[in-house]
């Protein structure tokens, strides 16, 4: 499962109304740490342990600043875990894949 490109038009349907939890990567093209996290998200989105259990999405804060603003995103990369339309966890900053996966796993248990 690849990451979903999120926009103002599909955010509600893909994230807020999703039947499974969604991790949203708030990023921008000019942000080097954001670019470092891109391959990490792609790898994790293909991991069998998340299949049908977690959706991965990317939202470019330059394309949808109103959504980033609504959720108080002031530092990128930032990741919000949504479940049933609400925020369950926030992860901020770039990190290695294993550390990021551990934070996601902890957040999913909440």
Active site residues: 31, 34
Two tokens at 14?
């893909």
* C-alpha–C-alpha distance, residues 98 and 84, integer Å: 26
Rounded to the nearest 5°, which phi and psi values hold at 60? -75, 115
Contacts (Cβ under 8 Å, ≥6 apart) of 98: none
Query: Is the separation of the CB atoms in 80 and 68 below 8 Å?
Result: no
């Amino acid at each position: 499962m690849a990451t979903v490109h999120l926009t103002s038009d599909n955010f509600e349907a893909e994230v807020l109304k999703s039947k499974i939890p969604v991790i949203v990567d708030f990023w921008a093209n000019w942000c080097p740490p954001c670019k470092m996290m891109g391959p990490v998200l792609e790898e994790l989105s293909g991991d069998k342990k998340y299949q049908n259990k977690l959706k991965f999405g990317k939202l470019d804060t330059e394309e949808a600043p109103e959504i980033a603003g609504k959720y108080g995103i002031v530092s990128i990369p930032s990741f919000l875990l949504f479940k049933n339309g609400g925020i369950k966890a926030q992860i901020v900053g770039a990190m290695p894949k294993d550390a990021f996966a551990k934070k996601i796993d902890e957040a999913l248990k909440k």
